[in-house]
Amino acid sequence: MRHDQLFLWFVGDPTRPRYVGQLRLVDAGKGVSLQYGPQWLADGFPLSEDLPLVDMEHLPRWKGLAVGAVDDARPDRWGERVIQYLDRPARLSLMEYLYYAGDDRFGALGVSASATEYSPRRGGPLPRLESAQVLSEIVHKIIAKEPISDFERRMLAAGGSFGGAKPKALIEIDGQQWVLKFFNNEPIDVSLVEHASMTLAQKAGIRVATTRVVPLSGENSVAVLRYDRIGPRRIHCISAGTALRAQTVAGEEPVFGYPQLGQLLRRVGVTEQDRYLQDMRELLRRMVFNILIDNTDDHEKNHALQVFEPTQYGQYKLSPAYDVLPTNSGQGCQEFIVGEQQRDSTLDNAMSQCELFGLTTVQAAETVAQVIRVVDTWKEHFAEQGVCAADIESLAERIDEGTLGEQRRNFGASRRAALKRSRRRSPFAG
């Protein structure tokens, strides 16, 4: 089935879906536009800052994307692969991917073939935890391009087109939705390493998505509790990439970085109890942690924002951190811009624009020191979480040796020098 036109719905309360507007395939099939419906214009809210409540067709400003927050409703590489495998759409446009992604996509937006009733592509009930082994076997068959049975197709269709690059599926554990992540032919046990990294980040004062290891036959997977769900309700969320593109002037390329995201939070973060300032400061903490554990896969889709009370305020707050683990690459640069030296993975670079995170140099240095004290315990923590000695030693070549290890060991001296150079007060200090 070809789709040149679909309809967007808001399903924050799945029992009362609200029609948002019409989606249309544009730019020779390389983009998707949105035009709000009259009722949404009257009492809805802007889905992202580049989608104001104006009666016009909002067109995507970059090729290959759906417009604004709609782009976060489509699947990424693994989801696209599952759609191609299961549905074999006659045409692989953004509209097909938006439709075939089904009802359990990221955030609170839904896509329907009707403007009068919410009629998404339905899957079956989500598989439960006890089906994890079967799901793993299905995933491996898809990777190997092997045929699967009708039963396996139904199980995969229930939760197999969720976003992301790595193989994953949605499952239900104790009445909650979790994302079950699989790994294939990795040199280390990535599932155990991700769980250990996330729990270590929590020790470092970072809010993280809840994770748990799910043992499988001969391997492990890791389950991540969805942060865009609270019971039956769905939380409107957007990726950092969508948020930063939205504030970009037409004709310019968006700048993706920690300082830029920090300043966005300063402008449109949650004002209640100065939550925006807490988020800005935690963002620097996350940046430092990512640098020190060699997590260089910190691109704009690996940060997200939850929209706080969208119908009343539309303010943003940082989602819990996710996809936090060493890439074990030692490449020395982050995906997200760090500071004045752009993407360089150094603590000096991380502190170079600390005022953009609402911190003085003194406060930023103390934050770095706190994170270092936690990261210094990473070997013991990883071992406690079940990571084997061989994997720990492999990771230690990046985390403890070379530039990263030197920075941790030498930060005390560089910190004292930095404090002498600058006594700037935070622009948010009282």
- What pLDDT sits at residue 109? 97
Q: pLDDT tens for residues 375-414? A: 999 999 999 999 999 999 999 999 999 899 999 999 976 6
| 212 and 265 assigned to the same domain | no
pTM of the model: 0.93
Out of 197, 229, 261, pick the residue that ends a domain: 229
| 157 and 220 assigned to the same domain | yes
CB atoms within 10 A of CB 342: 11
Percent of the chain at pLDDT exceeding 70: 94
| 189 and 108 assigned to the same domain | no
CA distance 7 to 119: 10
- What pLDDT sits at residue 57? 98
- What pLDDT sits at residue 10? 98
| 322 and 282 assigned to the same domain | yes
Percent of the chain at pLDDT exceeding 90: 73
Is the per-residue pLDDT at 420 higher than 70?
no
Is the per-residue pLDDT at 211 higher than 90?
yes
Residue 292 contacts residue 372 (beta carbons within 8 Å): yes
| 15 and 56 assigned to the same domain | yes
Range 263-268 average pLDDT: 97
Is the per-residue pLDDT at 3 higher than 80?
no
| 309 and 402 assigned to the same domain | yes
CA distance 254 to 300: 11
Out of 229, 263, 287, pick the residue that ends a domain: 229
71 in a structural domain: yes
Average pLDDT, the chain: 91
| 390 and 259 assigned to the same domain | yes
| 95 and 170 assigned to the same domain | no
Banded model confidence at residue 159, pLDDT cuts 50, 70, 90: low
- What pLDDT sits at residue 33? 97
User: 86: which residues sit within 8 A by CB, 6+ positions away?
Assistant: 100, 153, 156, 157, 160, 161
| 181 and 59 assigned to the same domain | no
Range 371-377 average pLDDT: 98
222 in a structural domain: yes
Q: E strand or H helix at 318, and its extent?
A: strand 315-318
Angle, CA of 178, 229 and 289, to the nearest 5°: 70
| 222 and 248 assigned to the same domain | no
Is the per-residue pLDDT at 21 higher than 80?
yes
Which CATH number is 142's domain given?
A: 3.30.200.120
373 in a structural domain: yes
Burial classification of residue 143, based on how many CB atoms lie within 10 Å of its CB (0-12 exposed, 13-18 middle, 19 or more buried):
middle
Q: pLDDT tens for residues 298-356? A: 999 999 999 988 877 889 999 999 999 999 888 899 999 999 999 999 999 999 999 99
251 in a structural domain: yes
| 223 and 250 assigned to the same domain | no
Banded model confidence at residue 145, pLDDT cuts 50, 70, 90: confident
Domain span holding position 18: 5-112
351 in a structural domain: yes
264 in a structural domain: yes
CA distance 8 to 119: 10
Give the chain's radius of gyration (CA, Å).
22
266 in a structural domain: yes
Is the per-residue pLDDT at 124 higher than 90?
no
430 in a structural domain: no
Which CATH number is 372's domain given?
A: 1.10.1070
| 328 and 260 assigned to the same domain | yes
Is the per-residue pLDDT at 421 higher than 90?
no
Is the per-residue pLDDT at 50 higher than 80?
yes
Instruction: For residue 355, give the nearest of 291, 424, 419 by alpha carbon.
Output: 424
Range 172-194 average pLDDT: 92
Is the per-residue pLDDT at 426 higher than 90?
no
Banded model confidence at residue 161, pLDDT cuts 50, 70, 90: low
Out of 229, 262, 294, pick the residue that ends a domain: 229
- What pLDDT sits at residue 105? 92
> How many domains is the chain partitioned into structurally?
3
- What pLDDT sits at residue 430? 43
